[in-house]
Amino acid sequence: MLKAWIRAGAIVLSVMAGMPVAAVEAAGWDHYGGDAGGQRYVAATEITPENVGGLTQAWSVSTGALEGKSEAVRKRYAFEATPILVGKSLVLCTPFNVVKALDPATGAEQWSYDPMVSPDRRPGNQYVCRGVAAWHDANAGAGDECASRIFTGTVDGRLIALDAETGKPCTGFGRVASRPGEVDAGADRLLIWPGEFQITSAPVVAGDVVIIGSSISDNRREDAPKGTVRAFDTRTGELVWSFDPVAQGVRDDPESWRGTPDKIGHANVWAPFSVDEKRGLVILPTSSASPDFFGGHRKGDNKYANSVVALNAATGEVVWSFQTVHHDVWDYDLPAQPTLATLTRDGAPVDVVIQVTKTGFMFVLERETGKPFFEVEERAVPQGGVEGEELSPTQPFPVKPPALVPHKLTEDDIWGVAYFDKKSCMERFKKARSDGLFTPPSMQGTVLYPMTGGGANWGGMAFDPVRKIAIVNVNIAAHIVTLFPHGEFKARKDADELAEISPMDGTPYGMRRDVFLSRLGLPCTKAPWGKLVAVDLNDGTIKWSEKIGTIRDIAPVPLPLRWGVPTLGGPLVTETGLTFIGAAMDDYLRAFNTETGAELWKGRLPAGGQATPMSYMWQGKQYVVIAAGGNARLGTKIGDDVVAYALP
């Protein structure tokens, strides 16, 4: 009875607001992260821990994204999209920014829009599009063109507005007649090559502005493109405001940017944003300034870089900020959407922002002020950087929750599947510096543990607002980062073209970053390499931790051993106490018990599930949907399918 009254009330409110009733009746996932605050929670009750074992494939469709693509393009391909439910359509984007609307019950295509992205851009961060955003114009009349809009960013730096009903460009958006429905949201510095700058994550809408970030290639140069965040009018596409974290940081705190900050770029926001609609805030997870592994020309803490920043969504003015890494020289940028939640303290509700990080820390901040909800301490960290570097003597460490991953490698942690394998790993480890978290990059080679892929990554976390449980998938592996004199770059790159070797032009150093793998291609560290962790945010403790994934699709022999493998993607949680996640390097979608961590079900996917699933109710049936297209850089099987599961 209560749910019926809530549903009826929602329909009445939707009519009053001018929104289509069908959008509310089929509600369940209308933002990239499920809701504007990224909780990745669905209040659907048909699928339960008791019957989840009966899930079967309801439909599967190919997006056609790989048709006609060359091998070179396929090597830069990653299908990481999460669809959203808009009106009577599931809407998503392919890695090449083709936007498609599908029937929620069958997967049949309703419309498609191709922005004609060039296949020769060589994007530094792959061909990726994680999602789209939807907006309804409260001033529009019934049947007006583009009364409901889909916004999407592209690999070539465009922001596009489409009619949600037809997929046609909104002609009133943008000023160039030959490019209806789009505006330039690209780089504000000249690019060295076309793919140096791109947009990978979904835009967000706050009021009547649509806000977009960017993804920018790391370590190519010091004077890299700026990480400017931009807000555009949702109706006209006119620029409303922009926020450059570096320039704003220099203005607000010059001591935090001593050196040559006018030549510095990045501190961009490549991960998804969140919106606090009640307070009118857009909350940004910023990245590190350029380049990643040497900061001698940007001395100081570098205010607003590596920070959770809350902006006034209407004006772009900073309301508050909290820095998670001071003077980052480890590529420990914020990779995930900030999650908005409500916790309890002294019997009263407190609105918070939960930020998961590559270091495996979880920062919980008060949403009103940005002050820590759980205590954060400044602790001394390793020193002794390369010549010209000026490290922060301390870094922020949350007292609660505890770190979700270990932070130091020792000889006892080195592993190999065979004697010769372990021996080669041990030899490399002994040559490198490994003093724990925040050991500075060095010319002898420094172990970064966790690696720059996390800890947590762009998949973020899911939050159960009833149980107050956060679910996070984390990686537990290492990088070795080695600096060398800048003049040696060409010779080193020519000698090993396949290695990640970058010049960091403008600095005295170049860099090499290697995943710490054995000769057989397995991590040199003991398993698990991937875990699913539940954090009880009632008290800031770890509730459970479970290995996720088997080695059947990454080992030389396809053994289904549940060792826990690296992950890329995120979880969703349901009202009934289920956690769904793909992400692992074996090709499955899995369901876990949110309370206990027990694996209850898995479904084999046609390709890697390196995306975040979503769920919704449609015509009385609950569906769980995931993009199954893999990630070429991670080495999982690539494809272009969208797969839906439901109970028979």
Active site residues per annotation: 331
Distances (CA, A) of 175 to 109, 144, 238: 30, 20, 9
pLDDT band at 90 (very low <50, low <70, confident <90, very high): very high
- Give the model's pLDDT for residue 520: 86
CA distance 576 to 239: 43
Mark out the alpha helices in 376-474 (DSSP H runs). Answer: 419-431
CA distance 479 to 516: 5
Q: For residue 12, is pLDDT > 70?
A: no
pLDDT mean over 553-574: 87
Q: Which amino acid is residue 214, in one-letter code?
A: S
Cβ-contact 37, 276 below 8 angstroms: yes
- Give the model's pLDDT for residue 16: 34
Q: For residue 178, is pLDDT > 90?
A: no
- Give the model's pLDDT for residue 330: 98
Kindly report, residue by residue over 44-66, the tens digit of the pLDDT. Answer: 999 999 999 999 999 999 999 99
Tokens of 512: 């090499």
Share of the chain above pLDDT 70, in %: 96
- Give the model's pLDDT for residue 3: 36
CA dihedral sign, ordered 138, 140, 143, 144: negative
For 22-36, 410-424, 532-546, 548-562, which range has the lowest pLDDT when averaged over its residues?
22-36
Q: For residue 19, is pLDDT > 50?
A: no
Q: For residue 301, is pLDDT > 90?
A: yes
Chain position carrying tokens 């003597």: 393
pLDDT band at 20 (very low <50, low <70, confident <90, very high): very low
For 132-136, 140-144, 436-440, 635-639, which range has the lowest pLDDT when averaged over its residues?
140-144
Q: For residue 13, is pLDDT > 80?
A: no
- The full 3-state SS of 79-133, as one line of letters, equals CCCCCEEECCEEEEECCCCCEEEECCCCCCEEEEECCCCCCCCCCCCCECCCCCE
* pLDDT, averaged across the chain: 94
Tokens of 481: 């980062």
pLDDT band at 33 (very low <50, low <70, confident <90, very high): very high
- Give the model's pLDDT for residue 475: 97
CA distance 32 to 81: 9
- Give the model's pLDDT for residue 560: 81
Q: Residue 327: helix, strand or coil by DSSP? A: coil
Class (C level, CATH) for 2-638+641-645: mainly beta
| Secondary structure element (H or E) that encloses residue 21, with its range | helix 21-25
CA distance 47 to 35: 20
CA distance 99 to 64: 12
CA distance 300 to 323: 13
CA distance 203 to 225: 19
Q: Which residues contact 271 (CB under 8 A, 6 or more apart)?
A: 201, 213, 285, 334, 335, 336, 337, 458, 460
- Give the model's pLDDT for residue 522: 87
pLDDT mean over 388-403: 98
Pairing mode, if any, of strands 41-42 and 571-574? parallel
Dihedral of the alpha carbons of 224, 227, 233, 237, in degrees to the nearest 10: 20
- Give the model's pLDDT for residue 143: 85
Q: For residue 2, is pLDDT > 80?
A: no
Share of the chain above pLDDT 90, in %: 91
Complete DSSP assignment for 535-557: EETTTTEEEEEEE---STTTSSS
Q: How many CB atoms lie within 10 A of CB 648?
A: 6
Q: For residue 497, is pLDDT > 70?
A: yes
CA distance 628 to 176: 36
Q: Which amino acid is residue 216, in one-letter code?
A: I
Q: For residue 334, is pLDDT > 80?
A: yes
Tokens of 320: 């508050």
Backbone region of residue 620 per phi and psi (left: phi > 0; alpha: psi in -120 to 50; beta: other values) = left
Boundaries of every domain in the chain: 2-638+641-645
Q: Which residues contact 5 (CB under 8 A, 6 or more apart)?
A: none
Q: For residue 14, is pLDDT > 50?
A: no
For 24-38, 137-151, 458-472, 479-493, which range has the lowest pLDDT when averaged over its residues?
24-38
pLDDT mean over 210-214: 98
